[in-house]
Amino acid sequence: MSARATPPRASEGLRSGELHKGELHVSGLYVGDCLPLLARLPDESVDLTVTSPPYDHLRHYDTPTPLNLTALGQQLLRVTREGGICALVIGDSARHYAKSLTSFRLAVSWCDALGWRLFECCLYHRHGTPGPWWRTRFRVDHEFILLLLKGERPGVFHKEALYVPTKHAGERVSYRPYPRRGTPWGAPPPAVQPHQCRGTVWPYATSSAERNRLKLGHPATMPDRLAADLIACFSNPGDLVLDPLMGSGTTCVMAARQGRRYMGMDASPAYVDIARRRLASEAGGQEEEGGKGRGNG
């Protein structure tokens, strides 16, 4: 079994609506089209989804048909528990001096037509090799992190897990005296706290800085830290974390390392193989019986 902090067992199943024999198993990786695979999951069985969909045909993936993002949103809403978050890392391509608006359309349609609510839209500020210098455009160094919420309020929000250090910790930086009742001179300002709440711009080095050759066998990975932060903030140990488009398995590896259960899907057998090898080498992970089968996609 894996070296997870609280090793989940398949027998724990999914808390509402059990997975039956022959169905998908938690802590499993699946090869296949995610839509028919997701259709086999019970309602309200997933605590958190962390994923990055293909968009605007920027890359060629070995998939039978382009992914229907609306159908994906519907399935994810169905399988997500009340209060659960779906974190989507997504961007927009540009053509003839105009952005595609794919991420904007997705956010609006998933909220207006499907019933998700946009908890927050953070920016993943990419630090890495500068990429091409465009004569007529800015160099794009961000993607969106759409944090979509099912229901009234997030069931889990460990924002303290993402605190960032303050620049002037311990200093008393205000020059305006704090009025103290009964004294004309005022009291010194309070010392700046060592940490503060994270803002909505999240800076990370790109995956190439991680120097993980196995992971870089996939052309479009998200940084480990980005997936790890989302999991730490929006899930508890033992929760089920899903990535229906897992690529090299970043979400599953980070979930396993933090003692969460995971489920990963990808249409490409080669990428699922990378994810399997990453789980074994980076999280001491091992799939539970039943996780190795081909999906029906």
Ligand X SMILES: C[S@@+](CC[C@H](N)C(=O)[O-])C[C@H]1O[C@@H](n2cnc3c(N)ncnc32)[C@H](O)[C@@H]1O
In DSSP notation, 48-110 reads EEEE----TT-S----SS---HHHHHHHHHHHEEEEEEEEEEE---EETTEE--HHHHHHHHI
State in angstroms the smallest separation of the CB of 4 from ligand X. 19
Q: Does 248 bind ligand X (CB under 6 A)?
A: yes
* 221 vs 235, beta carbon nearer ligand X: 221
Question: What is the x/- site pattern for ligand X, positions 48-77, by CB under 6 A?
Answer: ----x-x------x-x---x----------
Question: What is the x/- site pattern for ligand X, positions 219-238, by CB under 6 A?
Answer: -xxx----------------
The torsion angles phi and psi of 73, rounded to 5 degrees, stand at -60, -40
State in angstroms the smallest separation of the CB of 153 from ligand X. 27
Strand partners, 117: 149
- Beta strand 80-90 pairing with 28-31: unpaired
Q: Does 143 bind ligand X (CB under 6 A)?
A: no
Residue 7: how many other CB atoms lie within 10 Å: 15
Q: Does 34 bind ligand X (CB under 6 A)?
A: yes
Phi/psi region, residue 71 (left: phi>0; alpha: psi -120 to 50; beta: rest), is alpha
State in angstroms the smallest separation of the CB of 243 from ligand X. 7
Q: Does 33 bind ligand X (CB under 6 A)?
A: yes
d(CA 171, CA 23): 57
Q: Which residues bind ligand X (CB under 6 A)?
A: 33-34, 52, 54, 61, 63, 67, 218, 220-222, 245-248, 250, 265-268, 271
